[in-house]
Amino acid sequence: MEVLNSILLWAAMIICAFALYKNYELAGKKRKPGKEISVNTNVYNIILGTAIVLALFIRIYKFGSVPGGFNQDGAMAAVDAKALADYGTDRYGMHMPVHLTAWGYGQMSALLSYLMVPFIKLFGLSAVTARMPQLIMSIAGLVFFYLFVKDVFGKKAALIAAAFAAVNPWHILQSRWALDCNLYPHFFIIGVYLLNKGLTRRVCLYLSMVSFGLCMYCYGISIYTMPLFLIAACVYLAVTKKIKIMDALICAGVYLLVSWPFILTMIINFLKLDTIETPFFTIPYFPDSVRSNDILFFSDNIGEQLIANIKSLANTTLLQKKDLPWNDVENFGTMYLFTMPFAVTGLIVLIRKYRKSAGAVLALIFLLTGIWCGLTTNGVNVNRINIIYYPIMLMAVLGIYYVINTIKNIQWGVAAAYISAFVIFSVTYFTSYADILAVNFFKDFGDAVASVKNSDADKFYITADSQYTGASNVSEILTLFYHETDAKYYQGETPEGELPFDEKYTFKSIKDIDIDPSENAVYVITAGDLSYFDQTLYDIERFGNYYTLSPKN
């Protein structure tokens, strides 16, 4: 794959440079470029239909089982969602929180958990129900991405957008697991589409503010990215007289009506004020929060941090360097490694050819907002800068569209490159990469914990060495997920004849536990912990690198 990447990257750079040079020459000689490639209705519908089928298949096939296991942040969102479904509280008992306590020192956005509630209420807690909202919103993002490109750049560009997005690695990966912040780009693109549509249909203008308001509950960085986009878009649209002042005021009112509880949460935590409880929701203060350390302006040395942020931004986007295991597949990047020449070309084309189009300018502001996010958020990775990927996809689409309209018959080569990359990516994703994710999502640990869910043991001793030595919080949240633990029980309400949660469940390194063979207890341990036990006294079951031990009758 490395050789193919190099060949395709050089080919993309050459054809993009040639296309730009050719059109520059044409412009200099005042000659018109050739006609755009024509696509008849039947061919258009076949390509679009194929893109839809591919997009759905690659996102739904083995959904719930690949990735195997479950990410600890997703498990936390799901456990809180179950508590919300059962009692209208998070797992700690906070009534309808605007923002989730999560780990305590680092909070979690709440919208994903609330979106999980109906699925958990209807079908119970599982990997499928917990991941379903992300899948649905990802598919919705594809639809609105296609519609936005169609409205702004035309049907042919939209067809490329549908095909390109269907096989895009970043989009595929984030759609198949549950992480709160990955909702942000989808609500953002929906808002951008509605905002552009609202320039001709006012109701869509106001609906866009609902989507932008919901963005605030997707990811904490929205507090310094979403308002920036809205202010920049408002100034541009007002100056160009695309909207009236009254429209802007109504939009601001709708946005604030939806987002004010989250904004007030951020204010309370910045000023260290008390939690506000209302009959409808809770606006919490988190005394142990360290999230402000992630923001450039709170850094000890802003200059050095800015330089580091620029490097992280370039590595994560332009260079597509390897990120965290769950964010990209090695040798494929977020966009396929040979896509960035098309994206750079598309940006040039957008500025030169479409700068008078309101929709194109909104797309540019969207891209700049993503860049701002990368500059002001310390050490960005793919998750932290996820709002930049729809604009990059759009620029790549414009670049491809420009190239195939400039160079005769090049469309077949471009199509072959992406089809080849997608086929290899798909095979890799469901084979070797699935194995990698199963390790990173603690599949063996989860299988071991799930296997003892219905045990009649009085106590459970579960290793705290799941993610790293002493990671008791990770072991606990995964156990809560796999055991579908009742939130009231977790909070201390103990059923008759049952031990309290804190007595029944112990999360420690096994070396720190006093092992009593006579106790009716089940152990979930690592392979290295077997030496602490007299194995003749236990029934032992293996799950990869983990074991369960229960006393023999």
Question: How long a stretch of residues is the chain?
Answer: 553
Per-residue pLDDT at 266: 93
The pLDDT of 223-227, averaged and rounded, is 96
Q: How confident is the model over 278-320, as pLDDT tens digits?
A: 999 999 999 877 666 778 888 888 999 999 999 999 999 999 9
Residue 271 structure tokens = 């000023």
Bridge partners (DSSP) listed for residue 525: 547
Burial of 271 (0-12, 13-18, 19+ CB in 10 A): exposed
pTM for the structure as a whole = 0.95
Tokens 């794959």 locate to 1
CA atoms of 149 and 452, how far apart (whole Å): 51
The secondary structure of residue 155, as a DSSP letter, is H
Q: Which residues lie below 8 Å from residue 283, measured CB to CB, with a gap of 6+?
A: 98, 261, 264, 265, 268, 275, 276, 277
Per-residue pLDDT at 24: 77
Q: How confident is the model over 118-128, as pLDDT tens digits?
A: 999 999 999 99
Q: Is pLDDT at 131 greater than 70 in this prediction?
A: yes
Q: How confident is the model over 36-49, as pLDDT tens digits?
A: 778 899 999 999 99
The pLDDT of 461-485, averaged and rounded, is 95
The pLDDT of 405-421, averaged and rounded, is 95
Q: Is pLDDT at 30 greater than 70 in this prediction?
A: no
Q: How confident is the model at residue 57 (pLDDT cuts 50, 70, 90)?
A: very high
Closest CA to 74 of 106, 108, 104: 108
CA atoms of 141 and 148, how far apart (whole Å): 10
Per-residue pLDDT at 291: 63
Q: Is pLDDT at 477 greater than 90 in this prediction?
A: yes
Q: Is pLDDT at 210 greater than 80 in this prediction?
A: yes
Q: How confident is the model over 227-276, as pLDDT tens digits?
A: 999 999 999 999 999 999 999 999 999 999 999 999 999 999 999 999 99
Per-residue pLDDT at 426: 97
